[in-house]
Amino acid sequence: MAAMFEGWDAEVLARVQFAFTMSFHIVFPAFSIGLASYLAVLEALWLWTGREVFINLFDYWLKIFAVAFGMGVVSGIVMVCQFGTIRSGFVDKAGPVIGPLMAYEVFTVAALLTAAVVAGLSAIVVAIQKRSARGRSSSQTAFADDATRTPDAAAAGAEREEPCSA
């Protein structure tokens, strides 16, 4: 195995390793950003329509998002360490520009996206329920939690007709 890298100096090997790390890392943030948008659409569709298929899809893709996000964080930590050790001259000159951008990526975008998607689902639902309850009249609020009756039909004592499933 050592004969394979004879003639290569440490700088070239470090650059090859950095290129591999960058190639590996860039896949995960790109996938996570796109998947976060898809998850937001699924959650909005679920909140708008109330159909279970959207929340089931959301739950399925949320697990994949968490794995991809975790892999992006791990490979990103390695990449940042390589910036400091392999490209110390570059970081010395470009650090004032690159440093805040990396901090923005790690602490703002990544953390807020994860918090909003993973922990925010129940908070969003509660906030929407509270907001919609404030806008109803007292006669509507009495039947808001009854999924099978409408306020008008409930006042008459009739069940709401269920749509035909085709």
Is residue 66 included in any domain, yes or no? yes
User: Quick one: which of 77, 76, 68, 66 has its CA closest to 31?
Assistant: 68
Domains in the chain: how many in total? 1
Q: At 142, is the pLDDT very low, low, confident or very high (cuts 50, 70, 90)? A: very low
Per-residue pLDDT tens over the stretch 31-76: 988 998 899 999 899 999 989 999 999 999 988 998 888 888 888 8
Is residue 148 included in any domain, yes or no? no
Query: What is the C-alpha to C-alpha distance for residues 52 and 60, in angstroms, rounded to an integer?
Result: 12
Q: What is the reported pTM?
A: 0.56
Environment class of 87 (CB within 10 Å of its CB; exposed 0-12, middle 13-18, buried 19+):
middle
Q: Tell whether the model's pLDDT for residue 137 goes beyond 50.
A: no
Per-residue pLDDT tens over the stretch 117-130: 666 656 666 766 67
Is residue 166 included in any domain, yes or no? no
SS3 95: helix
Is residue 29 included in any domain, yes or no? yes
Q: At 3, is the pLDDT very low, low, confident or very high (cuts 50, 70, 90)? A: confident
Which residue range(s) make up the domain with 116? 9-121
Q: Tell whether the model's pLDDT for residue 103 goes beyond 80.
A: no
Which H or E run contains 53? Answer: helix 52-86
| Exposure string over 21-46, b if 16+ CB within 10 A, otherwise e | beeebeebbebbeebbeebeebbebb
